Amino acid sequence: MATIGTQNLTLLDLQKRMDPNGNVAQIIEQLDQSTEIIQDMTMVECNQGSSFVTTVRNGLPSVTWRKLYGGVQASKSATSQITDTCGMLEAYSQTDKAIVDKSKDRASFRASEDKAFIQSMGQELCRTIFYGDENTPEKFIGLAPRFNTLDIKKAASAENILDAGGTSNLASIWLVGWGPLSVHGIYPEGSKAGLHQEDKGVVTVTKDDGSMFEAYRTHFKHDVGLTVRDWRNVVRIANIDVTKLTNDAKAGADLINLMIEAEERIPNLGGVRPVWYMNRTLRTFLRLQKNTKHGSTITEDMEMGKLVTRANGVPVRKIDALLSTESRVIA
């Protein structure tokens, strides 16, 4: 197993190493433009085919202050094994050959058509990272099903869910500490990570009525999954009623205070790559609330030609796949 994540490499970093000519890396850069989470997620190769088996520590061993001539009881930590699997995300694009052939630059024309498929796959990947569940077994399990109760008797991860108190029109803010020993993406053993694009050339397409036409076809394939090795490195601020948010936080959720509280739930922010994720509405109100309070907590700067909002130095990503119609998280 190649532990790519030991250097906390993202999918884009990994693609550039595997494909020095830059052909595939260019695809991932397009994917990154539509789905910012791609630039954050550490990637690790599966250790069991298309699955990643990891041991999670559920409890620490006991220790003893020993007296002179006194004994110490042996102890051990409590652990359990979990298995996460990859999903297979695929698509085919077809463009009528006659249309392509009329273009002065066929390659550029096809690339512009293919870009829409790349963006669509990126958005679907993002939705699955947060909302994928066991009801759709062809997908991998996302974050929301792993952090979906306020009752610590049902799940230890309940300790890392903050209840913002809303009952309808609900959205969540996520703080994820990416890393090879905390939370990371996975890809099948012995394969190359990332989205793969294959030009199938000209094919004959048969329509439902039996008629046929020639078309250029491109195949897109992305085998990917997610594993949470240490739930303490993910915090969900749930039950935020987006209709009650205000610019000054005097009513509705005080986003900045909630985010400060969430940061304290992560054991060691310096040991992971922490990133905030929220939808467009929440990030808008976060920036508005910054103007009336906590001005030094929320900052903005330019990075690689893009404006980046930060909360206490941690990047705040806008993720359109995150809903404002979530189910309420309860005990």
Residue 330, domain member (yes or no): no
Question: Can you give the pLDDT at residue 54?
Answer: 86
Least confident of 79-88, 184-193, 278-287, 302-311: 302-311
Residue 77, domain member (yes or no): no
Residue 18, domain member (yes or no): yes
Percent of the chain with pLDDT over 90: 57
Q: Tell me: pLDDT of 34 over 60.
A: no
Residue 134, domain member (yes or no): yes
More confident residue, 166 or 57: 166
Q: How confident is residue 15, by pLDDT bands cut at 50, 70 and 90?
A: low
For residue 242, the enclosing domain spans 4-57+82-318
Q: How remote is the C-alpha of 175 from its chain's centroid?
A: 11
Q: Tell me: pLDDT of 220 over 90.
A: yes
In the chain, the DSSP E strands lie at 43-45, 51-59, 78-85, 87-96, 161-163, 170-178, 183-187, 196-206, 212-228, 234-241, 273-278, 298-303, 306-311, 314-318
CA distance 59 to 69: 29
Q: Tell me: pLDDT of 157 over 50.
A: yes
Q: For the segment 280-308, what is each residue's pLDDT rounded down to a tens digit?
A: 999 999 999 987 666 678 888 887 777 88
Question: Can you give the pLDDT at residue 95?
Answer: 87
Least confident of 111-125, 165-179, 257-271, 314-328: 111-125
More confident residue, 66 or 159: 159
Q: Tell me: pLDDT of 141 over 90.
A: yes
- CB distance 259 to 237 below 8 Å: yes
Residue 97, domain member (yes or no): yes
**Helix, strand, coil in percent for the chain, rounding step 5:** 30, 35, 35
Residue 90, domain member (yes or no): yes
Mean pLDDT across the chain: 86
Residue 62, domain member (yes or no): no
Q: What domain count does the chain have?
A: 1
Residue 175, domain member (yes or no): yes
Q: Residue 260: is it exposed, middle or buried by C-beta count within 10 angstroms (0-12/13-18/19+)?
A: middle
Q: Tell me: pLDDT of 7 over 70.
A: no
